[in-house]
A and B are shown apart, each in its own frame.
Chain A
């Protein structure tokens, strides 16, 4: 026990004097979690609270285009600015750039005429099918497509939301015109505004309720998504310090002396595991604390810890142990510190990508969806999400813990085999 204690003291002393290692293990993940959460929080707000600026050039003087602009404004997603005059693609691009707008739309000059004609034609067909005589309308041809110009920085999911919103605005305009035509043909008078609004605006409301395992209805936010994810990344990033430390000890003269002393090197490996497991716990505590107490001061949503704190502690320990085991394994097999650092960093980024830390695993397709299962980070993330987002309890994450435990044991066995094969124990 004294040997183990002395070895832990030695490892802690070396760790505390490795300023770059400490920066990599603590400062880098903290910066990462703050930056990524802030950016994602802006995206959340862009969709939910902030408005996308849109430039509309209306070359049409008719009522339908005015209705369309009114409908776009009513969606609540856009901050519309109208520009006048003849516009082409280049001009609208210039205007978007000048006014820092994400989107631009040109409504063609015959938009209202074509919408009217199309509505009357549809209304006529409808009356005919009722057995009534409708006005015969000369078709002006299909309505020209509405061209939307967008800033390339807009992500695809936001573009799809924009497209959906514009479609619903167009649908509203076309439906209104068709309804008016139908009413006029049948009653030979204008459709009363009150009835028109009732018919068009009587939409069924959509309530959004997050479904959690503990029955709470906390709306997930960027903090709840990012803090657990980047805590896992930080824990696995100890590979930069730990695997380097294993290699340094292995290739340095000190290892030759250690091998001639009456102590098994497994004591050294156990000490490193205990020391770095403590580091991962500290990382989690620091990052969670920042999420809880610092985030509100920088305008980010505060982190809500799961109700089952015991489950959180157990999951964190298992994740940390898995991260430590992976780093030790890489350190034992790497020949040089450069190998350990290079492979370590790249493999962690790949495992993070595959594991769903950077792109949600539910959005992955085919091979990558299956590949997620081999990344220990995936199981760590699933366990954390279950606790942080779904209000899960220990029983809900037992499967994840078991899988992480199996991966950890496999890594430990691999490390032991590596040590034996290299005659290090």
Chain B
């Protein structure tokens, strides 16, 4: 008998509805992500991926049910809970007027790190992500790929136990995309749980071991990627995605 895996995120019977917009809503949604997993959350536009991540990170509050992160209920003890995870939003989430170093200094402080730790982590991250040469240049002059790397560096400066990534490679070239995925794989090896959403399913196959497909606020499939492909008799994630969610346009 194997050991029971520890739960990183436990989404328990949550219900949520945007005020005045019933299109995206959840009802009795359950999801469990284990510690150390590389978890991919996929679905067409408007399926509810970003909403679910927003609920898991406390940006939105569920109307019903509860979400626990490493045993802490979201919405309580913000100072402790929010130290446990990092969030890489789809939009560039930093100050464009500042340099990468200045951004990391500020977000490091807000993540609860001390001055010396911020300095060490800044040097380490800028080297790993190839931003050392431009560390003192204003981010507004950077290319899209460089901005994505700054976005990533800020999200991981405090070495979070769980990292939420909302389309972290959107709009970048193949090289930058590959570098980001390699870095995320290395991060996962060191113990960080990854929760990832993207429309780039080839890339997702490289990164994710556990997959959930979400559509119209419901999880329509969830399993280990290999099992899932076997069960649905599909060659790859993209085929399975189209098979389960259909080919019509989504808004």
Residues of A bordering B, CB below 8 Å:
2-3, 5-7, 9-10, 13-14, 17-18, 252-254, 256-264, 267
Q: Chain A's interface: helix, strand, loop or mixed, by majority?
A: helix
**Quick check: which of B98-106, B183-191, B221-229 contacts chain A, the rest being far away?**
B98-106
Pair A257/B79 contact, Cβ less than 8 Å:
no
CB distance from A153 to the nearest CB of B (A): 46
From A252, A257, A259, contact of B107 by CB (8 A):
A257
Complex Cα gap A7–B102 (Å)? 11
From B82, B91, B98, contact of A260 by CB (8 A):
B82
Q: Which residues of A contact B108 (CB under 8 A)?
A: 6
From B59, B81, B115, B155, contact of A2 by CB (8 A):
B115
Pair A14/B93 contact, Cβ less than 8 Å:
no
Complex Cα gap A347–B80 (Å)? 42
Pair A6/B138 contact, Cβ less than 8 Å:
no
The CB with the most chain B CB atoms within 10 A, among A6, A18, A267, is that of A6
Known: A260-B58, A262-B79. A7 touches B106 (CB 8 A): yes
Q: Which residues of A contact B93 (CB under 8 A)?
A: 252-254, 256-257
Q: Does B111 contact A (CB under 8 A)?
A: yes
Complex Cα gap A256–B58 (Å)? 10
Pair A7/B80 contact, Cβ less than 8 Å:
no
Pair B97/A17 contact, Cβ less than 8 Å:
yes
Chain B residue at minimum C-beta to C-beta distance from A10: B106
Q: Which residues of B contact A13 (CB under 8 A)?
A: 97-98, 102
Q: Which residues of B contact A14 (CB under 8 A)?
A: 95, 97-98
Complex Cα gap A260–B110 (Å)? 10
B interface size (C-beta, 8 A): 33
Complex Cα gap A55–B85 (Å)? 85
Known: A2-B114, A13-B97. A256 touches B109 (CB 8 A): no
From B57, B78, B91, B109, contact of A6 by CB (8 A):
B109
Q: Which residues of A contact B97 (CB under 8 A)?
A: 13-14, 17-18
Pair A9/B105 contact, Cβ less than 8 Å:
yes
Q: Which residues of B contact A17 (CB under 8 A)?
A: 97, 138
Complex Cα gap A259–B110 (Å)? 10
Q: Does B65 contact A (CB under 8 A)?
A: no
Q: Which residues of A contact B59 (CB under 8 A)?
A: 256, 259-260
Complex Cα gap A258–B110 (Å)? 8
